[in-house]
Amino acid sequence: NKVKTNFCVEKNLCKKWEDFSGVEFKELRNFSKYHSFEPKKNNSYPLKIVHHGIGNKSRKIENMIKGVINCGNNYEGYFYLDTKSKSLDRKLKTLSRNTNVFIMNPIEENSLIKKCYEYDLAILSIFPSNVNYKYCLPNKLFQFIQSRLPIVAGPTPSIIEIINDYKIGVISKSFNAKDLCTAIKSISIDDLIEMKHNCNKAAKDLSWENESNILLSSVSKIKF
């Protein structure tokens, strides 16, 4: 009863919390700090695709891996995964063995944006196995944007909105490997260059320097 302001990281989840609790929730998205990068130039194949994050069964990361494998030798996938399950780790490494996909150790948080800048394209498809995943708006989306990476994404509502608004990627028709492969291959080199430049505007707008004002404004209104 003493809480002054409630926050959640995505607008649909805010609404669900409001319906559940009867109190207002403000959207406070999990933006990264602004990084001043010039988009990395690449005019040739193979294109290097990156994904990073938690590896767990419910996210069905194997769909992204299969999607990149199915793209063929013009594409290479690098998956930096923090996988707690040894059986899942073995499964993903077996799936990617002798293919164009490589399972890598996780990257330290403060190095993620700089490291991912080395790549050409990001893939972000989190299977909607629960409500949080169905409406997720993960920090990796905004880290990819700061890395100036165009994004191939599964059809997650708020991710769709941002990618389409800024024209910084493509949306797969579904979360399955076949559709993810089709989405990846739909991006030409010219598309990639244009999307990377569009990431410049997105990186400025969707930065913590801007979003933090929502938090700071709410704090300033609290009377101690």
> For the chain, percent helix, then strand, then coil, each to nearest 5?
45, 20, 35
pLDDT band at 1 (very low <50, low <70, confident <90, very high): low
Answer whether residue 224 shows pLDDT above 80. Answer: no
Distances from the Cα of 71 to the Cα of 42, 46, 66, 170, angstroms = 18, 11, 9, 15
Mean per-residue pLDDT, 116-142? 97
165-190 pLDDT tens trace: 999 999 999 999 999 999 999 999 99
Mean per-residue pLDDT, 193-200? 95
Residues paired with 53 in a beta bridge: 81
List the single range of 36-50, 84-98, 126-140 with lowest mean pLDDT. 36-50
